[in-house]
Amino acid sequence: MESLSPNSSVNEMALRQLDLAADSIDLDPNLRARLRKPDHALIVSVPVRMDDESVHVFTGYRVQHNDVLGPFKGGIRYYPDLNLGEVSALAMWMTWKCSLAGLPFGGAKGGIACDPKQLSRKEIQGMTRRYTAELLNFIGPQIDIPAPDMGTNEQVMAWIMDTYSQHKGYAVPGIVTGKPVAIGGTLGRKEATGRGVVYALEQAVDSLGLDLQKCSVLIQGFGNVGSVTGRELARLGVSVVGVSDRSGGIYNPRGLPVEAVARFKEQNNKLLEFPEGEKIGGKEFLELPCDILIPSASEMQITQENAGKLKCRIIAEGANGPTTPEADKILADMGVLVIPDILANAGGVIVSYFEWVQDLQNFFWTEDEINKQLKEMMTRSFRSVLEASRKERASLRLAALMIAIQRVGRAMLLRGLYA
């Protein structure tokens, strides 16, 4: 098992972002020192009896970064290369994301180092339930509320809810968000992150005086976030010219039939076999010409090596941490507007908040109400970041981080230090 020191290139990137923003707002050095480290970092062994009767021990994580604004909140990721450093960075970004959106949550993240595509349904369920059992003393509707992330879905959330509830002796729907509607989930949660990206894009193109319907879009990563974003943009009449996944990408400068592509991906799990469009390798995909690039895959996809080769006007970060600080500088010099992750993909946690509130009240909203509130909150957040960006002459990322960290820092000062 790895060291408790959460070192990784992704975590170092998150810390550098914190330092840049802290310098810009002259953050109290004592607060900076506290914010650089998570409140809690848990590593657990997750033994699972596999279908062949062997026992495999997976490694699970839960990092709780800061709860000064409210209960910890963050997704659970099933991913082969998951490590403590990555989870620590994602937990920190969740703190900033919740703060920026004005939610009464702190940041957390968790997951298991595994490849769910290589596991049966029975194995995933057994692994999920054992992982949940290891976290029983660390999660709860007023403590830490998990949600889906890469490699997990509403079924995984249902198993977590059931395991937690069985131990408590009664149903606790508020323990997770992103669960099925039939057991306390909310309408619109599955589509929330993708819809939020579109709402942020509408504000961004308007701020630049562009027409969204005349823009061409590339989407890297065609999972839940990327596919929903693509479908929503296509319904608005926007031309999605390229999409990609782990198998590669497909590209058509005249536009792709997004609904057909999404159905093909759901049925076949590989975009590269889609019969229409030019086949494009993973590295070359990001460098295709477009007006809007939406990286919705994983961290550190846009780097110092490829940033200067991009041919887009706007980047909307559907994924967490897809752009490195070095790439940010290059993109700024090129005049590319980057809508940062903690702003662009906040739709998921915003609607998770709505779900949590509904569960606590046992009163549920219509999908129209959900989408109306989501759009209002995304629009308000974007405009506040844009205003701060112009006032401070800073990028949208730096402005968003400054707002988020100032709010967290102010709350920490008000609550004081218990020592």
pLDDT tens-place string over residues 167-196: 999 999 999 999 999 999 999 999 999 999
Question: Which tokens belong to 7?
Answer: 């070192």
Which candidate in 109, 179, 190, 375 is catalytic? Answer: 109
The reported pLDDT for the residue numbered 7 is 57
The reported pLDDT for the residue numbered 273 is 79
pLDDT in tens, 287-341: 999 999 999 988 889 999 999 999 999 999 999 999 999 999 999 999 999 999 9
Residue 296 one-letter amino acid = S
Instruction: Tell whether the model's pLDDT for residue 6 goes beyond 60.
Output: no
Is residue 109 annotated as a catalytic residue, yes or no? yes
Q: How confident is the model at residue 268 (pLDDT cuts 50, 70, 90)?
A: confident
pLDDT in tens, 95-133: 999 999 999 999 999 999 999 999 999 999 999 999 999
Instruction: Tell whether the model's pLDDT for residue 3 goes beyond 50.
Output: no
Give the residues across from 147 on adjacent strands: 75
pLDDT in tens, 218-240: 999 988 899 999 999 999 999 99
Q: How confident is the model at residue 342 (pLDDT cuts 50, 70, 90)?
A: very high
Tell me, yes or no, if the two domains 9-181 and 191-344 fold the same way.
yes
Q: What is the mean pLDDT of residues 394-403?
A: 97
Architecture of the CATH domain 191-344: 3-Layer(aba) Sandwich (3.40)
Going by their DSSP bridges, the two strands 216-220 and 292-295 should be labelled as parallel
Residue 256's φ and ψ, nearest 5 degrees, are -105, 150
pLDDT in tens, 45-81: 999 999 999 999 999 999 999 999 999 999 999 999 9
Do residues 351 and 188 touch, judged by C-beta distance below 8 A?
A: yes
| Domain ranges within the chain, ordered by starting residue | 9-181, 191-344
Query: Can you tell me the distance from the alpha carbon of 298 to that of 323, in angstroms, rounded to the nearest whole number?
Result: 10
Question: Which tokens belong to 288?
Answer: 């295709």
Residue 93's φ and ψ, nearest 5 degrees, are -60, -35
Reference 322, options 288, 290, 291, 294; nearest CA is 294
pLDDT in tens, 247-256: 888 999 999 9
The reported pLDDT for the residue numbered 1 is 42
Instruction: Tell whether the model's pLDDT for residue 387 goes beyond 70.
Output: yes
Average pLDDT value over all residues in the chain: 94
Query: Can you tell me the distance from the alpha carbon of 209 to that of 15, in angstroms, rounded to the nearest whole number?
Result: 34
Q: Is 209 exposed, middle or buried (0-12, 13-18, 19+ CB in 10 A)?
A: exposed
Architecture of the CATH domain 9-181: 3-Layer(aba) Sandwich (3.40)
Do residues 145 and 73 touch, judged by C-beta distance below 8 A?
A: yes
